[in-house]
């Protein structure tokens, strides 16, 4: 039961302020749009938010004591439910100490984007931030949120093109990010428009930008246009790098033009650009795609001769190519090379190798492959054992020694299981 204190009197102006703020909070809550079937809630929307903590944070903004920008940023970061950021924004803008610094705005737009509340971000940008000067880092964060969190690439492009209106010019990093997002989503026409806007945005294109264009043209199958972009490098005072060549070579291999890709490898070395493992993997993959996977071992040997260290992808692609060509002894050599370097062949490649060796009655090689398979943690299945037994009993003179080996492996499998 509350006891009224006759000496305690609420001033009319204080009561009016409290009522106006209560109405403002109520209006702010109505701005949160309902979720539609097209915008499914995220996982943390399905859990009960810690409303007590958010309520206490929002109540802090209703108090009259002064809030520093750092304190406001800390409170914003502490919100549990991203949609509470809308209420916080309205409460903060009504205060006399409202000071939307860049750290605060970065925290706020992050919360709003994760709640898929884009309208308040638009309001913040066009009603508040136009009177302030924010850095490229802020807009880069906003563009990333639009592209990756909100899945609104159109907003990302719009933000990039409107940055000069905020007295901020995009860096190459921000410009290339948007360009790469457009190419990755196959929005090639829009990517072309953004590229043409580079002079208006005061962005000086670099090798990374040109590589993104080459990547998009190769994905479209416009290889001749991609080569023309490559020819623009010296005209623009730029030098192609290893990614430029690997992108072109990948586009050629996707079209089945493996010989032309090898010609670009020679051109690459003449230009003084050192290839890397990615370049050789592109060539190996191109050979396999053309049905010439067994030739990938020559590329693998070339890598070793040139002093490069093949990765697990290099070995695995060559291994699959040799298995498809039924060159099991050479495939066994590749497996030996993988194991000696600490790489683990896939279960499928082990299975194809063992079955292929069994069909060629190579019992000793089958024994070695099985032992390696078990050491790598793979357990042969019943279908493989049928091939192994058939291989073992086909040569009576080797039957005894092979059976002993199989018993040892079976015992090892029992320990694994």
Q: What is the pLDDT of residues 64-112, one digit of tens each?
A: 889 999 999 999 999 999 889 999 999 999 999 999 999 999 999 999 9
Distance of CA 98 to the CA centre of its chain: 37
Q: Which two tokens stand for residue 78?
A: 């502490």
DSSP per-residue codes, 383-402: HHHHHHHHHHHT-HHHHHHH
pLDDT band at 407, cuts 50/70/90?
A: low
pLDDT band at 399, cuts 50/70/90?
A: very low
Identify whether the C-beta of residue 68 lies closer than 8 Å to the C-beta of residue 95: no
pLDDT band at 408, cuts 50/70/90?
A: low
Q: What is the pLDDT of residues 161-186, one digit of tens each?
A: 999 988 899 999 999 999 999 999 99
Backbone angles phi, psi at 73, to 5 degrees: -65, -45
Residue 29: the pLDDT is: 38
Residue 236 has pLDDT above 80, yes or no: yes
Tell me how far apart the alpha carbons of residues 375 and 409 are, in angstroms, rounded to a whole number: 10
Identify whether the C-beta of residue 153 lies closer than 8 Å to the C-beta of residue 120: no
Q: Which two tokens stand for residue 243?
A: 């990614």
Q: What is the pLDDT of residues 21-56, one digit of tens each?
A: 444 334 433 333 333 334 433 333 333 445 688 899
Tell me how far apart the alpha carbons of residues 269 and 75 are, in angstroms, rounded to a whole number: 56
Residue 32: the pLDDT is: 34
Alpha-carbon Rg for the chain, nearest whole angstrom, is 32
* CB atoms near residue 277 (< 10 Å): 15
Tell me how far apart the alpha carbons of residues 258 and 288 are, in angstroms, rounded to a whole number: 10
Q: Tell me the C-alpha to C-alpha distance, in Å, between residue 207 and each of 216, 239, 244.
A: 14, 7, 8
Q: What is the pTM of this model?
A: 0.74
């Amino acid at each position: 039961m509350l006891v009224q204190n006759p000496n305690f009197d609420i001033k009319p102006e204080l009561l009016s302020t409290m009522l106006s703020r209560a109405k403002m909070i109520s209006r702010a809550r109505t701005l949160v749009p309902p979720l539609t079937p097209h915008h499914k809630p995220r996982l943390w929307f399905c859990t009960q938010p810690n409303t007590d903590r958010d309520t206490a944070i929002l109540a802090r903004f209703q108090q009259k004591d002064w809030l520093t920008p750092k304190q406001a940023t800390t409170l914003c970061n502490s919100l549990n439910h991203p949609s509470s950021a809308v209420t916080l924004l309205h409460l903060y803008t009504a205060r006399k100490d409202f000071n939307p610094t860049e750290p605060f705005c970065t925290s706020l737009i992050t919360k709003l984007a994760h709640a898929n509340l884009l309208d308040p971000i638009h309001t913040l940008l066009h009603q508040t931030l136009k009177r302030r000067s924010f850095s490229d880092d802020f807009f880069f964060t906003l563009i990333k949120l639009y592209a990756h969190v909100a899945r609104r690439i159109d907003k990302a492009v719009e933000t990039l093109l409107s940055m000069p209106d905020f007295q901020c010019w995009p860096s190459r990093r921000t410009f290339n990010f948007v360009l790469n997002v457009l190419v990755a989503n196959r929005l090639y026409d829009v990517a072309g428009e953004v590229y043409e806007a580079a002079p208006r945005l005061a962005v000086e294109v670099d090798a990374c930008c040109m590589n993104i264009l080459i990547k998009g043209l190769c994905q479209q199958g416009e290889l001749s246009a991609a080569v023309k972009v490559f020819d623009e490098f010296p005209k623009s005072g730029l030098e192609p790098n290893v990614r430029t060549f690997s992108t072109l070579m990948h586009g050629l291999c996707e079209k089945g033009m493996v010989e032309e890709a090898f010609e670009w490898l020679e051109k690459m070395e003449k230009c003084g650009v050192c290839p890397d493992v990615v370049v050789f993997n592109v060539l190996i993959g191109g050979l396999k795609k053309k049905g010439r996977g067994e030739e990938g071992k020559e590329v693998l040997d070339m890598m070793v001769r040139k002093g490069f260290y093949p990765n697990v992808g290099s070995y695995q692609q060559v291994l699959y190519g040799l298995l498809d060509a039924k060159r099991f002894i050479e495939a066994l050599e590749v497996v030996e090379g993988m194991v000696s370097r600490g790489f683990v062949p896939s279960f499928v490649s082990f299975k194809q190798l063992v079955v292929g060796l069994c069909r060629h009655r190579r019992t000793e090689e089958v024994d070695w492959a099985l032992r390696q398979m078990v050491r790598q943690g793979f357990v042969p299945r019943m279908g493989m054992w049928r091939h192994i037994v058939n291989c073992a009993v086909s040569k009576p003179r080797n039957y005894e020694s092979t059976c002993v080996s199989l018993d040892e492996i079976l015992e090892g499998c029992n320990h694994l299981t």
